[in-house]
Amino acid sequence: MVNIANYQDLIIGSRVIEPGNSEKFNTGDWRSMCPVVDTSMCIDCLTCWVYCPDDCVIVEDSKLVGLKTSHCKGCGICAKVCPKKAIVMKEDVQ
Amino acid sequence: MSSKVGKDIAINGDGAVALAWKQMNPDVCAAYPITPQTIIVEDFAKYVANGEVDTEFVDVESEHSALTLCTTSSAAGARTFTATASQGLAYMWEMLPITAAMRVPVMMAVANRTVSGPININNDHGDVMSARDTGWLSLFSENVQEAYDMSIIGLKIAENKEVQLPVLVNLDGFILTHAIERMTPLETHAVRDYIGKFEPMYPLLDTDRPVTHNLMDGPLYYFPHKYQMVIAMNNALGVAKDAMAEFAEISGREYHLVEEYMCDDADYVAFVLGSSFGTMKAAVDILRAEGMKVGVAMPRVYRPWPAQEIARIMKGKKGIIVMDRHLSIGSYGPMYPEICAAGALNDTMPKMYNFIYGLGGADTMVSDFVSVYKIVEGGYAKDVNFVGVKE
């Protein structure tokens, strides 16, 4: 049968009373293309960090250290704006 | 009791609703004028202008804006009222299911008027019947007194923690809205004690507890949230009974989920809504004097639908007449299938007859209702009949 939430667990009126909990909702689930970065080509310009709409670019000490893709929807903007083509979009196989 | 009941006054239905609003002193009111509801808003605007209420009155550019404002105002935590009719309710329609799904207890008076076209400003139930599936509670009143009383009882039901649904308070356009009748209001302190302080659930303005309202629901959540509304509606039946009992204690006026007149020993019982209940009671009196065993009943509470009460009234009757002041063209009147469904709870069904009457304000007199009973008893009635239309 259909898999739906238990009505007793939900607050009436489609309300959410826990602020900021959208972080727990992994919007990357429905992605079909996933960005992959080759850090050896990366010059740490952080253009991708500026452009990423979902805050997926992990930066430490002003350097790109990787991509956190739990909320990446595969839009491909990072790959498009990367001046060194260090980011490429690959079919997502999970 | 005497200290809770005011002096008798002469007032029209719209004025009575406005008076009830004044006594309840809502936080916010946003409404757009439309005949025959206009006097409610005009009268209430005067109370606001005279400083007799603390209400924030918002002039809006349309009914759609009115209900949007009222919905969000209630979500913010304010006790909020509005009123409309006919095209106004139609224009609100997009917001009606959203208000209900947001579970905010907005109260709306509906001065029942037909929905155009052809263009017509007179009474029938076309407006509210087109809003019946939206998740709003819906109450009907027979006279000016009841329009006043239902405004107060309706809010009490809507704001109950187990209900939390918006409510439509219906009064027949012109027949009640513009007719002056004698009415006994309650004293203001009695009204305020009865409705109590508004305690909103998860108000947006409670900044210590941030909350998001009306999120997008995927299939995982939409159905369960709808089911919660089903439960709330079921709860409302019991809550309405209690609210009416408590109201009877302070006012001396007793109300029920379904009002009955001479139904117990009747062979034929008619179901009707609104002011026509009074007209039909007069028809019943005439026929009873002639020895015909007839009765009439009115679902006071139309949403939630009091199916069990209706089934009880239908039990063992020869025939049931359903008077509908609206028509789903190509099918029946809106109440007829629901009365049939309630009757199906019993082991046997009486003969069922649907009479469509009074569309677009077509006058329906005591003699017309007398004829309805006689046509049924004489065996001349079809499944759907049209009062006053020469077929």
Contact A15 B215 (CB under 8 A): yes
How far apart, in whole angstroms, are the C-alpha atoms of residue A13 and residue B213?
7
- Among A4, A15, A19, whose Cβ lies nearest the Cβ of B213? A15
DSSP SS3 for B386: strand
Q: State yes or no: pLDDT of B1 exceeds 90.
A: no
pLDDT at B211: 95
The per-residue pLDDT for range B236-259, each reduced to its tens digit, is 999 999 999 999 999 999 999 999
Closest residue of chain A to B227, computed from CA coordinates? A7
Q: Counting one residue from A and one from B, how many pairs have CB atoms under 8 Å apart?
A: 59
Note whether A1 contacts B: Cβ–Cβ < 8 A: no
Q: What does the buried/exposed string (b/e) look like for A30-50 if buried means 16 or more CB atoms within 10 Å of the residue's CB?
A: ebebbbebeeeebeeeebbbe
* Confidence category of residue B390, pLDDT binned at 50, 70, 90: confident
Q: Which of B272, B297, B282 is nearest to B125 (CA)?
A: B272
Q: How far is B228 from chain A (nearest CA, A)?
A: 6
Q: What stretch of H or E contains B301?
A: strand B301-303
Specify the pLDDT at position A1.
53
What are the helix (H) ranges across chain B? 13-24, 38-49, 63-76, 86-92, 96-101, 126-129, 144-159, 188-195, 219-251, 276-289, 307-314, 335-343, 366-377
Q: At a CB cut-off of 8 Å and minimum separation 6, what does B12 contact?
A: B39, B144, B176, B177, B178, B179, B180, B181
Closest CA to B113 of B90, B93, B133, B135: B90
Question: Is the pLDDT at B2 greater than 70, yes or no?
Answer: no
H or E element that contains A48: helix A47-51
**Could you tell me the sign of the dihedral formed by the alpha carbons of B333, B335, B338, B344, in that order?**
negative
Of B219, B221, B232, the CB nearest to A14: B221
Reply yes or no on whether the pLDDT at B124 is more than 60: yes
Long-range contacts of B154-159 (CB under 8 A, 24+ apart): B154/B107, B155/B24, B155/B79, B155/B105, B155/B107, B155/B195, B156/B194, B156/B195, B156/B243, B156/B246, B156/B247, B157/B236, B157/B239, B157/B240, B157/B243, B158/B105, B158/B106, B158/B107, B159/B79, B159/B105, B159/B195, B159/B198, B159/B199
> Does A70 have pLDDT greater than 90?
yes
Residue B342 tokens, joined: 């309630």
Interchain CB distance below 8 Å, A7 and B213: no
A4 to chain B, any CB pair closer than 8 A? The answer is: yes
Q: Name A27's Cβ contacts closer than 8 Å, sequence gap at least 6.
A: A54, A71, A73
Q: Do A64 and A82 contact (CB within 8 A), yes or no?
A: no
Give the residue-averaged pLDDT of B119-143.
97
Sort residue B205 into left (φ over 0), alpha (ψ -120 to 50) or beta: alpha
Chain A residues with CB inside 8 Å of B209's CB?
A: 17
A93 touches chain B (CB under 8 A): no
Measured distance CA(B381)–CA(B391) in Å, rounded: 13
The ipTM estimated for the assembled molecules is 0.86
| CB neighbour class for B113 (10 Å; exposed up to 12, middle 13-18, buried from 19) | buried
Residues of A in Cβ contact (< 8 Å) with B225: 7, 10, 12-14
- The token pair at B112 is 């029942």
Gap between the Cα atoms of B242 and B153, Å rounded? 10
- Name the more confident of A5 and B93: B93
Find out whether B165 and B233 touch, Cβ atoms under 8 Å: yes
Mean pLDDT of the region B140-168: 98
pLDDT at A64 > cutoff 80: yes
Q: Compute the mean pLDDT over every residue in chain A, rounded to the nearest whole number.
A: 91
Radius of gyration of chain A (CA): 17
Question: Would an 8 Å CB–CB cutoff place A3 in contact with chain B?
Answer: yes
The reported pLDDT for the residue numbered B41 is 96
Residue A93 scores a pLDDT above 70: no
For the entire predicted model, the pTM comes to 0.92
Residue A23's pLDDT is: 85
**pLDDT tens for each residue of B53-68:** 999 999 999 999 999 9
Q: Encode pLDDT of B75-123 as tens digits.
A: 999 999 999 999 999 999 999 999 999 999 999 999 999 999 999 999 9
Share of chain B above pLDDT 70, in %: 99
For chain B, the residues whose C-beta falls within 8 A of a C-beta of chain A are 101-104, 164, 201-202, 209-215, 217, 219-221, 223-225, 227-228, 231-232
Give the whole-angstrom CA distance, residue B2 versus residue B186.
Answer: 10
Confidence of residue A92 (pLDDT cuts 50, 70, 90): confident
Over residues A14-30, the mean pLDDT reads 88
What residue has token string 């409309």? B84
In this predicted structure, the answer to whether residue B266 has a pLDDT above a threshold of 90 is yes
pLDDT digits (tens, 9 = 90+) for B200-249: 999 999 999 999 999 999 888 999 999 999 999 999 999 999 999 999 99
Min Cα separation B327/chain A (Å): 32
